[in-house]
């Protein structure tokens, strides 16, 4: 359970859609909050734990880079390193960057949160569906027919 910088994480792994989504969502949440004044928005100072799926930010007292410049650097870095991650990861980064430019961090975070809830809901539905179908097959092949009425 070790936190590594985003740079180290990208060097060690080919980040998947889920990891990039979590990192971008955390960045947008941090930008939308009131605690962004001293946050260092550079890939070398943002930490990620893959097992816990947690993002932590570094804070400095005398940090003189604007929020827009830091976000620009992060998106440029993530686009450059996502070349090997696949088309869907690159598309996600570009969509979030466009949303950030057009709507700002709060609306972008709300949109990412909505997409996350929708994805979790569909996952739960698919798990329940698989359990029900498996149960029906087990009952059918064990010669117990649950929905047959005898006269």
pLDDT tens digit sequence for 19-37: 899 999 999 998 888 776 7
Torsion over CA of 57, 58, 61 and 62, rounded to 10 degrees?
Answer: -100
Domain boundaries, the chain: 4-115
pLDDT in tens, 63-111: 777 788 888 999 998 888 888 788 899 999 999 999 999 998 899 999 9
Cα 72 from chain centroid (whole Å) = 19
| Phi, psi of 139, rounded to the nearest 5 degrees | -65, -40
- Beta carbons of 1 and 47 less than 8 angstroms apart: no
Give this prediction's pTM: 0.76
pLDDT band at residue 145 under the 50/70/90 scheme: low
CA distances for 17 relative to 90, 134, 151, angstroms: 9, 29, 55
Please give the helix or strand (H or E) that residue 44 lies within, else none. Answer: none
- The SS3 assignment for 60 reads coil
């Amino acid at each position: 359970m070790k936190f590594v910088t985003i740079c180290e994480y990208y060097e060690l792994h080919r980040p998947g859609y889920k990891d990039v989504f979590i990192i971008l969502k955390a960045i947008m949440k941090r930008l939308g909050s009131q605690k962004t004044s001293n946050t260092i928005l550079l890939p070398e100072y943002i930490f990620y734990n893959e097992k816990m799926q947690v993002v932590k930010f570094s804070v400095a007292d005398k940090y003189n880079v604007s929020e827009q410049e830091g976000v620009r650097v992060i998106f440029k870095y993530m686009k450059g390193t996502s070349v090997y991650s696949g088309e869907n990861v690159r598309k996600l980064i570009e969509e979030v960057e466009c949303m950030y430019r057009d709507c700002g961090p709060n609306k972008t975070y709300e949109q990412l949160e909505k997409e996350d809830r929708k994805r979790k809901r569909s996952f739960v539905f698919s798990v329940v569906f698989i359990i029900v179908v498996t149960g029906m097959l087990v009952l059918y092949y064990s010669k117990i027919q649950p929905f047959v009425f005898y006269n």
